[in-house]
């Protein structure tokens, strides 16, 4: 790469990073502003305050925010776990076995993934109320699975296809049962794929707003995105912008941590050294 | 260790195409059998049916006297080396080799002893803690073999194990495999498309074409007494030359002069008009370098040399010739089937490396006519095959092998008496 080319890459990279990170920086800055400061138009707060954070963590908004945070973590982790396990089996079958209706399953998964959430929320609301799932954890986990499973199956089956079939056949010849071959050879090799899928599934569930606001009514199951929408200011003439910004910063942290932790596992070579090449 | 018998094995795929068609083959205990043929001849499919990775459409697969058609691969106790080695990238070399033992729930101290033994045989000691990704191609190949020899399998199966290595390493590993097999005396089935491997490794070689067996014989018999054009063209490098010929009594007229046949061969070819004469490159020689005493057993002819290749220890000359259209198409089809693309009809002749024959000039060649074969161009059959002489060659090879196996068994008990006891307990 010539020096000129390199400098262009750096310029472009910085521009993209600025473009992507500026809104986040703005939110962080907002979260440290006092209410009177919010609309002053300057980027940095004129008076640096942690008032917003104390408001949501142990102030007036804490009984709205803290249960929501707990709910979000619980519901999203459970949904991610279930969808990873299920999609692992489904994707393995799709990548390895030849059975009628394979294309149909993949097609349906894709159709479900692009189906507009808003159109099924109302019937779901009625159904959930009648069978007692309204405002419960399972009442959110089930719809979240419908969001995360299709994508998980697609990504995971792509990863499984990358694993040479000989690996498994070698294991079988070496004396492994199908299950042993799957557990001892395929799953360890697919680990980067599983982590990637887990992160994607977690994001999808974590970011959901429509189900969260429609299928819950109390702190028993309301997730963070829905809770943010229900924040109110100290009086009805005051915007809760600062508190929302602080909450937004807090809910971003786990996502960033998750990516940083698993980044190396995702990047690590998939089947490096398995076969010649 | 066990013998492998195949009776009328057929493999049909979903579209009804028979990849393997009615194959019957007996592989004796301790024998090194090669399955060879051009790509798509069904040799790998046959191997995978032996190991159980491919279902058998019909026929019987009998290993060690037991029908295994419906047994899963893990119940057949065979070990296999894959073309791309199929090492487990997340495990160290040690764990890769130990994997079959771990699955068999072998106690740790025994695993350790057996893995160390295998590593000794294959000189992998200093690599045991490394991951396959950090090994060279030859080392990976040795790890794959280690995984195969570490347990007491009934037979070894190799699926083109050397085709991913470069030429030099391939030669080394070839002798390594031969030594290992002789030493362990274990039944081995080896798939390859490389005829050098087939000739050097096998006790017997099974030549396959489009899913059927053409000939099963010792390498020498295949070379000296091939049953048909296909086998004759496949075995030998450079390949056998096929010249069109017409017959008149006992005299064959070829583009390179006439060839007198002895009575027996003349009788065998009688009644055909157009024939193909198969002549190995080394039956030719630069006429000026041939001993006068030997000259009378062949004929001399003059031809224009197209290209010469000097390789140090030998020299090849390419001599173009004309052939009737029918023969030309047939030779082209044959060469296509043998995975080569012979564009012109030319003979490749091997001459002494000291020969001063030059490209583009006329030169006088001598042709030893004693061992030429005559083929029927329509059926491809070898009309002059001497079945008895061929069988004698294979019988000699079998005797050699039995001697070697007995020696290996004797040497083994003396050399590995410690592991012999371990073997006994595995069987129990």
Interatomic CA distance for residues A225 and A250, integer angstroms = 12
Domain A62-230 adopts which CATH fold?
Answer: MetI-like fold (1.10.3720)
List chain B residues with CB under 8 Å of A174: 74, 79, 99-100, 103, 147
Chain B contact for A188, CB < 8 A?
A: yes
List CB contacts of A267: < 8 A, sequence separation 6 or more.
A192
As given in the structure block, the two tokens for residue B8 are 């009328």
Chain A contact for B320, CB < 8 A?
A: no
Contact A15, A216 (CB under 8 A): no
Q: What sign does the CA torsion over A105, A109, A115, A118 have?
A: positive
- Give the closest of B53, B88, B104 to A167, CB-based: B88
pLDDT value at B188 more than 60: yes
Interatomic CA distance for residues B74 and A218, integer angstroms = 56
> Minimal Cα distance from A276: which residue of B?
B84
List chain B residues with CB under 8 Å of A176: 74, 103
pTM: 0.78
Contact A230, A119 (CB under 8 A): no
At B77 the three-state DSSP class reads coil
pLDDT value at B271 more than 60: yes
Q: Give Cα separations from A239 to A35, A36, A42, A53 (angstroms).
A: 8, 10, 18, 15
Axis crossing angle, helix A62-96 with helix A187-207, rounded to the nearest 10: 140
Domain boundaries, chain A: 62-230
Q: Which residue has the tokens 């006439």?
A: B258
Radius of gyration for the alpha carbons in chain A, expressed in angstroms and rounded: 23
Mean pLDDT value across residues B273-294:
89
Interatomic CA distance for residues B321 and B235, integer angstroms = 22
pLDDT bin (cut points 50, 70, 90) of residue B426 is: very low
Q: What sign does the CA torsion over B299, B305, B307, B310 have?
A: positive
Query: In B185-306, which ranges are continuous DSSP H helix?
Result: 195-201, 219-224, 229-234, 263-269, 292-295
Return the pLDDT at A237. Answer: 67
Return the pLDDT at A267. Answer: 56
Interatomic CA distance for residues B96 and B98, integer angstroms = 5
pLDDT value at B407 more than 80: no
Return the pLDDT at B68. Answer: 92
DSSP assignment string, A238-257 = S--HHHHHHHHHHHHHHHHH
List chain B residues with CB under 8 Å of A180: 103
Three-state SS for A109-144 is HHHHHHCCHHHHHHHHHHHHHHHCCCCCHHHHHHHH
Interatomic CA distance for residues A220 and A67, integer angstroms = 7
Q: Which residue has the tokens 């740790």?
A: B108
- CA distance to partner chain B, nearest, from residue A101 (Å): 17
Q: Give Cα separations from A86 to A148, A186, A188, B332, B335 (angstroms).
A: 11, 15, 17, 55, 52
CB spacing of B78 vs A173 below 8 angstroms = yes
Chain A contact for B73, CB < 8 A?
A: yes
Chain B contact for A189, CB < 8 A?
A: yes
Chain B contact for A275, CB < 8 A?
A: yes
List CB contacts of B160: < 8 A, sequence separation 6 or more.
B44, B83, B191, B192, B193
Contact B3, B64 (CB under 8 A): yes
Interatomic CA distance for residues B17 and A226, integer angstroms = 61
Residue by residue, pLDDT tens for chain A (277 residues) are 688 889 999 999 999 999 999 999 988 988 888 877 777 778 888 888 888 888 888 877 788 888 898 999 999 999 999 999 999 999 988 888 888 888 898 888 888 888 888 888 999 999 999 999 898 999 999 999 998 999 899 888 888 888 888 888 999 999 999 889 988 988 888 888 888 888 888 888 988 889 988 998 888 888 988 888 887 766 666 778 888 888 889 888 888 888 888 776 665 544 444 444 3
Return the pLDDT at A233. Answer: 65
Interatomic CA distance for residues A97 and B243, integer angstroms = 51
- Of A225-234, B23-32, B320-329, the one with minimum mean pLDDT is A225-234
Interatomic CA distance for residues A91 and A95, integer angstroms = 6
Residue in A161, A190, A156, A188 with CA at minimum distance from that of residue A80: A156
Return the pLDDT at B416. Answer: 43
**Which residue ranges form the domains of chain B, and what is each CATH number?**
4-222+396-427 (3.40.50.300), 238-384 (no CATH)
Residue in B193, B189, B194 with CA at minimum distance from that of residue B46: B189
Chain B contact for A170, CB < 8 A?
A: yes
Chain A contact for B78, CB < 8 A?
A: yes
CB spacing of B103 vs A170 below 8 angstroms = no
List chain B residues with CB under 8 Å of A190: none
pLDDT value at B180 more than 80: yes
CB spacing of B72 vs A172 below 8 angstroms = yes
Q: In what order do the strands lie in the sheet with B346-351?
A: B307-310, B315-320, B346-351
CB spacing of A274 vs B74 below 8 angstroms = no
Chain B contact for A271, CB < 8 A?
A: yes
- Give the closest of B90, B104, B133 to A189, CB-based: B90
Interatomic CA distance for residues A65 and A231, integer angstroms = 9
List chain B residues with CB under 8 Å of A164: 84, 86
Mean pLDDT value across residues B64-92:
90
Tell me whether the omega of the peptide bond preceding residue B238 falls within 30 degrees of 0, making it cis. Answer: yes
Interatomic CA distance for residues B78 and B188, integer angstroms = 10
CB spacing of A175 vs B100 below 8 angstroms = yes
> Minimal Cα distance from B137: which residue of A?
A276
CB spacing of A172 vs B131 below 8 angstroms = no
Cα A122 from chain centre: 24
- Of A181-190, B36-45, B410-419, the one with minimum mean pLDDT is B410-419
Interatomic CA distance for residues A11 and A9, integer angstroms = 6
The interface predicted TM-score (ipTM) is 0.79
């Amino acid at each position: 790469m010539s020096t000129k080319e390199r400098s262009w890459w750096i310029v472009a990279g910085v521009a993209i990073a600025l473009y992507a990170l500026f809104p986040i920086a703005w939110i962080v800055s907002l979260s440290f502003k006092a209410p009177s400061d919010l609309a002053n138009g300057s980027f940095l707060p004129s008076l640096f305050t942690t008032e917003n954070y104390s408001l949501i963590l142990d102030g007036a908004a804490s009984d709205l925010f803290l249960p929501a945070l707990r709910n979000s973590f619980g519901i999203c982790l459970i949904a991610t776990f279930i969808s990873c396990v299920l999609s692992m089996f489904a994707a393995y079958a799709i990548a390895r076995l030849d059975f009628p209706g394979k294309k149909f399953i993949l097609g349906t998964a894709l159709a479900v993934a692009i189906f507009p959430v808003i159109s099924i929320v109302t019937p779901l609301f009625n159904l959930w109320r009648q069978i007692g799932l309204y405002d419960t954890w399972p009442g959110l986990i089930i719809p979240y699975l419908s969001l995360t499973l299709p994508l998980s199956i697609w990504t995971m089956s792509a990863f499984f296809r990358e694993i040479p079939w000989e690996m498994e056949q070698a294991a079988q010849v070496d004396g492994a049962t199908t299950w042993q071959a799957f557990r001892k050879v395929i799953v360890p090799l697919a680990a980067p794929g599983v982590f990637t899928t887990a992160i994607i599934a977690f994001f999808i569930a974590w970011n959901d707003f429509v189900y969260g606001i429609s299928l819950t009514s109390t702190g028993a199951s309301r997730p963070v995105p829905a809770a943010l929408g229900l924040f109110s200011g100290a009086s009805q003439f005051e915007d809760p912008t600062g508190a929302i910004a602080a909450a937004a910063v807090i809910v971003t942290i786990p996502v960033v941590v998750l990516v940083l932790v698993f980044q190396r596992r995702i990047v690590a070579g998939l089947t490096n050294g398995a076969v010649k090449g | 260790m066990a013998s492998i018998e195949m009776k009328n094995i057929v493999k049909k795929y979903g579209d009804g195409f028979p990849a393997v068609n009615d194959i019957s083959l007996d592989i004796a205990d301790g024998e090194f059998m090669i399955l060879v043929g051009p790509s798509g001849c069904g040799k790998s499919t046959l191997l995978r049916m032996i190991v159980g990775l491919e279902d058998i459409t019909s026929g019987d697969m009998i290993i060690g006297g037991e029908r295994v058609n419906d047994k899963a691969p893990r119940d057949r106790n065979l070990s296999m080396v894959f073309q791309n080695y199929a090492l487990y990238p997340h495990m160290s070399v040690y764990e890769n080799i130990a994997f079959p033992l771990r699955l068999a729930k072998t106690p740790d101290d025994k695993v350790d002893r057996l893995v160390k033994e295998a590593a000794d045989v294959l000189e992998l000691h200093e690599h045991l803690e490394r991951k396959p990704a950090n090994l060279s191609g030859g080392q990976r190949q040795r790890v794959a073999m280690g995984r195969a020899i570490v347990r007491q399998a009934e037979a070894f199966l190799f699926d083109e194990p050397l085709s991913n290595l470069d030429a030099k390493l391939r030669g080394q590993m070839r002798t390594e495999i031969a030594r290992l097999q002789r030493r362990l005396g274990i039944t081995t089935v080896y798939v390859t498309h490389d005829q050098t491997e087939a000739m050097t490794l096998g006790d017997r070689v099974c030549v396959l074409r489009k899913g059927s067996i053409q000939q099963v014989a010792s390498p020498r018999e295949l070379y000296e007494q091939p049953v048909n054009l296909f086998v004759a063209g496949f075995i030998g490098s450079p390949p056998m030359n096929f010249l069109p010929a017409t017959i008149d009594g006992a005299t064959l007229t070829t583009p390179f002069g006439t060839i007198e046949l002895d009575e027996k061969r003349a009788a065998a070819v009688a009644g055909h008009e157009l024939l193909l004469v198969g002549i190995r490159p080394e039956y030719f020689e630069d006429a000026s370098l041939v001993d006068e005493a030997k000259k009378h057993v062949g004929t001399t002819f003059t031809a224009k040399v197209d290209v010469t290749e000097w390789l140090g220890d030998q020299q090849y000359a390419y001599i173009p010739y004309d052939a009737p259209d029918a023969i030309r198409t047939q030779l082209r089809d044959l060469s296509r089937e043998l995975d080569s693309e012979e564009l012109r009809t030319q003979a490749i002749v091997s001459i002494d490396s000291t020969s001063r024959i030059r490209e583009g000039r006329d030169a006088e060649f001598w042709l030893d006519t004693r061992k030429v074969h005559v083929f029927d161009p329509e059926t491809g059959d070898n009309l002059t095959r001497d079945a008895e002489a061929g069988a004698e060659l294979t019988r000699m090879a079998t005797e050699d092998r039995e001697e070697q196996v007995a020696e290996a068994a004797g040497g083994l008990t003396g050399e590995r008496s410690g592991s012999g006891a371990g073997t006994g307990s595995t069987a129990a």
